[in-house]
Structure 1
Amino acid sequence: MLDIPLSVLEVAMVQTDTRAADTLRDTTAFAQEAERLGYHRIWYAEHHHSPAIGAFPPVVLTAHAAASTSSVRLGSGGVLAPNHVPLMLAEQFGTLAALHPDRIDLGIGRGPGTFDEATARALRRGAGPVTDAEYEADVSAILSFLVDEVALGPLPEPWLLASSPAGAGLAAALGLPVAVAHHIRPDHTRAVLERYRADFTPSRWCERPRVLLCVETVCARTEREAARSIGPMDVVKAGLLKGRSEAPFPTPAEAAAHAFTADERQALAAFRAQQAVGTPETVVHRLARLVRETGADELMLTTPVYDLGARLLSHRLVMEHLGKEHLGKEKEEEYAEQPSAADC
């Protein structure tokens, strides 16, 4: 049984032949329902020039969701330091924390948020990839500005995203809680946690090591429905395995017709074995196993499936299986009326 907080990473997947306004409408509805289901926090990821994920600034989505909800924690997961002026990030999230006390998180990451080199350079005004020293200086400056320059009231809770031991080492040195990208590089998770816990130094932000583990999680009533729901993301991942940049997010029907090579199937199966995809029983069992293996203090579920109905159903089934959320007949019927990826 899972007795730690469960949270959500929202990546705003863009469906084929839909408008940005449709995706934004769905993210608002999703935040409201995730709050009702009892999820602890919702984070928004920064992406640029992606045919599959909306280029919606995390600070804007956080502000809108905070105004549309009442209790769930909200923030970036992450906002990418190399793309922003540290003082501006401190001002933005400091303002949000003053407007919504004790509800705002500032998750900071390093990557450019795009596979397109021209876009990455445009975000940095022509500069090349950030160095380790530059990234460390940016994160330190953000934290300093939060305390010394902003100080509008309650501060946002800072986190550092990490998918490598180097990122974990920086989080440990600064005494920050760490969000581990197990959904991206699961093979690095053990080394990340060992480095973080071994080198952690207490700070004003965190007195002891604190770990949030992000896991790809797709839950459906049957294994077949879960496999169909995750199919479009499998196609995107298969392209990345071949070194291609992100492709448009296919429909479940298109994904079902996609011909994977034997090597792709093997790689996807190995990755999925380290995530949580399947029926409620399978998903909760795998999440509980990850908590035992990693000692995580919190799990963040990311569900890259095609439509809002399927995403909401996935998160509801997890909570329902844990006994943390009980739905009446009226709500059950409402979910049943929403389209599922298995029906597309």
Structure 2
Amino acid sequence: MVQTGTRAVDTLRDTAAFAQAMERLGYRRLWYAEHHHSPAIGAFPPVVLTAHAAASTSVIRLGSGGVLAPNHAPLTVAEQFGTLAALHEDRIDLGIGRGPGTFDEAIARALRRGAGPATDAEYRQDVAAVLSFLVEEVALGPLPEPWLLVSSTAGAALAAALGLPVAIAHHIRPDNTLAVVEGYRAAFTASRWCERPRVLLCVETVCAPTQEEAVWRAGPMNVVKAGLLKGLSQAPFPTPAQAAVHPFTEQERQALDAFRAQQAVGTPEVVVGRLAQLVAATGAQELMLATPVHDLGDRIGSYELVRKHWGAAAGSAAGSAALV
């Protein structure tokens, strides 16, 4: 996030420190999303951030979560991530998704050289082409691990047909999660990429010593979400104090409360309990945490608290999924 009072370059300078902190805490994966024309998030290409973080770490897996297939030539995506995989053996993930990554129509058309939104058939062809190019044209050595990012049953069906592991965007469309998991597992076909269904669940997670502090830290993302509900571009990521006085409408408050109830915000006990419920409901093998918190220290502190208490829950429902 590009926080209020900072510049995009300041966010970039934090990238390596954050990756090193996640590696030190024992997290398995760190992914970067593709966004455009978003003052609150920044327009930082996932492949560039992946390369930068990989050069600053030694163990943690890094990659895209995701690179948006309609915005890029499939061969370019394959070459970029194939090169990263050759340079950082067994550490690179290639998460592929769809959507323009922006609410600005002019930017979306610029990304696609004037073309409109990709059809389902075009998207399927793009994903299949990336996978084909990885094997047939790039193949510099170790390949990146491909994932399909989905938030709908249509995306789940594509992942199942291609035999790809699936990363489910519970932090974006939680109401779809159970249907996505069920459809994916029912239709899965084994491939060279994945022998059996493999589910990663991404959950918005903000953890703090007290419930009040966790809600306070989660406040800025509520402002961003309220803007997204209106299809608006955002100002830089607000502070918790700014979020506390933001004039939400009653409709926005209801929507945000309903969303937060499906995520994991609170004390370590509350967060671990909620994550365990999601694992039990979905059978996810991996949990990825999205923690949109203004202060870098607070953000790292949230991950540290969850990691500590998740480990203590080993052997329970929580212990059945890897925390990534």
Range class of TM-score, shorter chain: over 0.9
Deviation for aligned residue 1:261: 2.3
Deviation for aligned residue 1:308: 0.5
> What residue number does 2:295 align with?
307
Q: Which moved more, 1:127-136 or 1:13-22?
A: 13-22
Match of 1:258 among 234, 239, 246: 246
- Unaligned segments of structure 2, at least 5 residues: 313-324
Query: For 1:184 and 1:128, how far apart are their aligned partners in 2?
Result: 23
8 Å CA contact 1:42, 1:75 repeated in 2: yes
- In the TM superposition, 1:206-217 aligns within 5 A as 206-217=194-205
> What residue number does 1:224 align with?
212
Deviations 1:211-230 (A, max 9, x none): 00000000011111111101
Query: For 1:47 and 1:214, how far apart are their aligned partners in 2?
Result: 17
Q: Structure 1: which 4+ aligned runs deviate by more than 6 Å?
A: none
> What residue number does 1:111 align with?
99
1:275 equivalenced with 2:267 (yes/no): no
8 Å CA contact 1:239, 1:247 repeated in 2: no
8 Å CA contact 1:219, 1:226 repeated in 2: yes
Give the letter for the 1:305 counterpart: V
8 Å CA contact 2:63, 2:94 repeated in 1: yes
Among all aligned residue pairs of Structure 1 and Structure 2, give the percentage whose two residues are the same amino acid: 80
Deviation for aligned residue 1:67: 0.6
The one of the two structures with greater contact order (alpha-carbon pairs below 8 A, sep at least 6) is: 1
Query: For 2:307 and 2:59, how far apart are their aligned partners in 1?
Result: 18
Root mean square deviation, CA, Å = 1.0
1:47 equivalenced with 2:35 (yes/no): yes
1:90 equivalenced with 2:78 (yes/no): yes
- Secondary structure of the 1:77 match is strand
1:177 equivalenced with 2:169 (yes/no): no
Aligned length: 312
8 Å CA contact 2:34, 2:46 repeated in 1: yes
> What residue number does 2:125 align with?
137
- Unaligned segments of structure 1, at least 5 residues: 1-12, 325-344
Query: For 2:52 and 2:254, how far apart are their aligned partners in 1?
Result: 41
8 Å CA contact 2:39, 2:233 repeated in 1: no
Give the letter for the 2:20 counterpart: Q
1:241 equivalenced with 2:241 (yes/no): no
Deviation for aligned residue 1:246: 3.4
Query: For 2:100 and 2:258, how far apart are their aligned partners in 1?
Result: 27
Query: For 2:223 and 2:110, how far apart are their aligned partners in 1?
Result: 28
- Secondary structure of the 1:306 match is coil
> What residue number does 2:274 align with?
286
Query: For 2:248 and 2:50, how far apart are their aligned partners in 1?
Result: 37
8 Å CA contact 2:37, 2:233 repeated in 1: no
Query: For 1:75 and 1:244, how far apart are their aligned partners in 2?
Result: 28
Structure 2-normalised TM-score?
0.94
Query: For 1:59 and 1:243, how far apart are their aligned partners in 2?
Result: 26
Deviations 1:121-167 (A, max 9, x none): 00001100000110000000000000000110000000000000001
Query: For 2:221 and 2:89, how far apart are their aligned partners in 1?
Result: 36
Give the letter for the 2:160 counterpart: A
Deviations 1:286-340 (A, max 9, x none): 001100000001000000110101100000011122347xxxxxxxxxxxxxxxx
Match of 1:298 among 286, 300, 306: 286
Deviation for aligned residue 1:263: 2.0
Deviation for aligned residue 1:42: 0.3
Query: For 1:227 and 1:22, how far apart are their aligned partners in 2?
Result: 25
Query: For 2:21 and 2:249, how far apart are their aligned partners in 1?
Result: 38
Query: For 1:150 and 1:264, how far apart are their aligned partners in 2?
Result: 47
Query: For 1:148 and 1:89, how far apart are their aligned partners in 2?
Result: 14
- Secondary structure of the 1:107 match is strand
Query: For 2:196 and 2:230, how far apart are their aligned partners in 1?
Result: 40
Match of 1:73 among 55, 61, 65: 61
